[in-house]
Amino acid sequence: MTIRVLIADDQEMIRSAFGMILGTQPDMEVVASVADGERAVEQARRLRPDVCLLDIRMPALDGLEATRLLAGPGVDAPLNVLIATTFDLDEYVYRALSNGACGFLLKDMSPALLIEAVRAASTGTSLISPAVTVRLLSKLAPARQDSTVDRPLPEPLTDRELDVVKLVANGHTNDEIGAKLYVSVATVKTHLANAQRKLAVRNRVEIAAWAWRTGVVTG
């Protein structure tokens, strides 16, 4: 199952570097190498590679716009697009991801990371350059930093407690939870009480709120 890759970058040097790096992998093949966005879209549509590795800065059509055409909302049979750029700008990251890109790489990354990213992208999963991630995370969680640092001992939830918490967040009663987990209501209440203490909350709604906030449950 060879991973077929399209490379689009206006710099000849970058194209060949990426090509050589990916060429070291027996299961990867560069099926096209182009220098501008229009050709990238054209070739991508024709060849339907497993991964499109696009630079942002390109003549004719930039990588972000090309991404939208290949993977954006409303496109049927979207392709897997990886954005690679020298410029670490939040604006680029947002636009890339909202245009359907499934990865965002900086060109100072290691070859191994590029390979990992391409492999991840080929299955539709994502990889974002560490530097980008960290910067974004620091924006996401600045408010929590202070409150978290002085917190004495964060007691992690056990598996079972987590099970109960999830079901609570889905609106189930203790009876229902007991039935679903094949335990008695007493057990459910025990787990719930422990989770409540560990999370430092007062009732099940706050438990549910925690679950939603932290992504334990979705929707």
Partner DNA sequence: GGGCGGCTCCACCGAAAGGTTGAGGACGGC
Partner DNA sequence: GCCGTCCTCAACCTTTCGGTGGAGCCGCCC
Task: Identify which of residues 35 and 106 has a Cβ nearer to DNA in the complex.
Answer: 35
Judged by the rule CB under 7 A, the positions of this chain that interact with DNA are 10, 12, 35-36, 39, 57, 59, 158-161, 172-175, 178, 181, 183-184, 186-187, 189-193, 196, 202-204
Binding mask 131-170 for a second copy (x = CB under 8 A): x-xxxxxxxxx-xxxx-xx---xxxx-----x-----xxx
Q: Should residue 26 be labelled a site residue for a second copy when binding is judged by CB under 8 A?
A: no
From the CB of residue 124, how many other CB atoms can be counted at a distance below 10 Å? 11
CA distance 121 to 132: 17
Rg over alpha carbons for the chain, rounded to the nearest Å, is 23
Nearest distance in Å: CB 202, DNA: 6
Smallest gap from Cβ 63 to DNA, in A, equals: 12
Q: What is the DSSP letter of 53?
A: E
Q: Edge-to-edge strands of the sheet including 127-128?
A: 28-34, 3-8, 51-55, 81-85, 103-106, 127-128
Contact call for residue 18 and a second copy (CB under 8 A): no
Angle of CA points 148, 172, 196, to nearest 5° = 30
Partner from DNA, a second copy, none binding residue 92, C-beta < 5-8 Å depending on class: a second copy
Q: Cβ of 60: how many Cβ atoms within 10 Å?
A: 14
Provide the minimum distance between the beta carbon of 114 and a second copy in the complex, in angstroms, as a whole number. 10
When asked if residue 29 is in the footprint of a second copy (CB under 8 A), the reply is: no
Coil vs helix vs strand at 6 = strand
The answer to the question of residue 65 lying near a second copy (CB under 8 A) is: yes
Of 12, 23, 89, 175, the one binding a second copy (CB under 8 A) is: 89
Closest CA to 55 of 69, 34, 72, 75: 34
In the bound state with DNA, the residue whose beta carbon lies nearer, of 25 and 187, is 187
Note whether 36 binds a second copy by CB under 8 A: no
Residue 64 within binding range of a second copy, rule CB under 8 A? yes
Paired with 7 in beta bridges are: 33, 53
CA 83 to centroid of chain Cα atoms: 13
